[in-house]
Chains A and B, each alone.
Chain A
Amino acid sequence: MAESPSGVNRFYLVLGAVALAGIAALVYQVRKPKAVSIPANVTVLTADTAGFRGYLVGSDSALIEISEYADYQCPACQVFETIQFPAVREQLIATGKVRWRYRDFPLEMHPNARVAAHAAACAEEQGKYWELHSAIYDRQPEWADSRNAAGILSQLAGTLGIDRGRFDTCMSSAKYAGRIQASLDEGVRLGVGSTPTFLIAGRLYPGALSSDSLRSLVEHNQVPPAP
Chain B
Amino acid sequence: MTRARKGIALLSLTGLFVAVYLYLYKIGQIGTLVCGTGACETVQLSPQSRFLGVEVALIGVVGYAVLLLLAVLSLQPRFAGPAWPSRLLAVLSGIAVLFTAYLTALELFVIHAICRYCVASAVIIVLLFLLAARELRRSAAPAA
Chain A interface residues (CB < 8 Å from chain B): 1-3, 7-8, 11, 14-15, 18-19, 22, 25-26, 29-30, 32, 34, 139, 142-143, 145-152, 154-156, 158-159, 164
CB-CB under 8 A from A19, the residues of chain B are: 13
- A135: nearest chain-B partner, CB-CB: B45
CB-CB under 8 A from A158, the residues of chain B are: 38, 41-42
> Smallest Cβ distance from A126 to chain B, in angstroms?
15
Summed over the interface, the residue pairs from A and B with CB atoms below 8 Å come to a total of: 76
A contact face: mostly helix, strand, loop, or mixed? helix
> Smallest Cβ distance from A32 to chain B, in angstroms?
7
Q: How many residues of B contact A (CB 8 A)?
A: 29
**Most central of B24, B31, B42, B72 by chain A CB within 10 Å:** B31
A-B pairs, top 5 by smallest CB distance, nearest first, are A151-B31, A146-B28, A148-B31, A22-B17, A155-B41
Give me 21 A-to-B residue pairs in the complex whose CB atoms sit less than 8 angstroms apart, sorted by A's number: A1-B1, A15-B72, A18-B10, A18-B14, A22-B14, A22-B16, A26-B24, A29-B30, A32-B31, A34-B31, A142-B26, A143-B28, A147-B29, A148-B29, A149-B28, A150-B31, A151-B31, A151-B32, A155-B45, A158-B38, A158-B42
Chain B interface residues (CB < 8 Å from chain A): 1-2, 6, 9-10, 13-14, 16-17, 20-21, 24, 26-34, 38, 41-42, 44-45, 72, 75, 80
Known: A19-B13, A26-B24, A30-B24. A164 touches B38 (CB 8 A): yes
Q: Is the CB of B28 within 8 A of A26?
A: no
